[in-house]
Chain A
């Protein structure tokens, strides 16, 4: 039993190493890929849309009095970090040339989303700020949904 188990285990060890090396190689190849495609851009836009939608939900819940002031402020800060990261990646050089218009549009929406999330920070303490953030984020959610639809193949 021991011998059989060890032989089985040795094969598995080789398989594990190959899988890890394969994954590492593929990740490296992926990271060196020069330009991202339409699908990648759609994923980025989808992520931004989700952030806008969650932000809107935070604003709605703040208006309903279900959240603490600190929660709203910190949640907005955490979401902005993700949006800023995406925004930095949205440059025309990173994507295929025929996508440059959509990339610019997505980058603009990301900038506006960042601003709207900055307003959301005050929504926990100020009802008017919450109202304004909710409206802004609703609008951005609609625009991002439209752009996402347009990017579907």
Chain B
């Protein structure tokens, strides 16, 4: 007899107050990034998203991480919220004028919408500062997500 398997598949109550948000973007700039500048961009991204989450009222950073890939190499960046302790490692490869960024932020003490707003605002600001042009993949609700939805939202 075939076994019947049924899952409730509801969020575990122990996950209360922990929310994650992620997105993927292609970035481009006429002047190619040398390895050191791309590593700095990765580190700045970690620090910026972390700071934005705290400015929105996060109790703690669960984990913010990014995967940056170009034709000739990749970087993995992560932080647990301390700007002095950001990890960037991987294989640099040659200069890159185009690359993709996958970002994932998991935060304790913020609603999902606020995590989303913090991540997107920090990302957009950094993209502008580095003179990059971005094209982002959808999260089902249009992308880049609308950052103005976050600050006044009630949990």
Task: Answer yes or no: do A and B interact.
Answer: no
List the interface of chain B (C-beta within 8 A of A). none
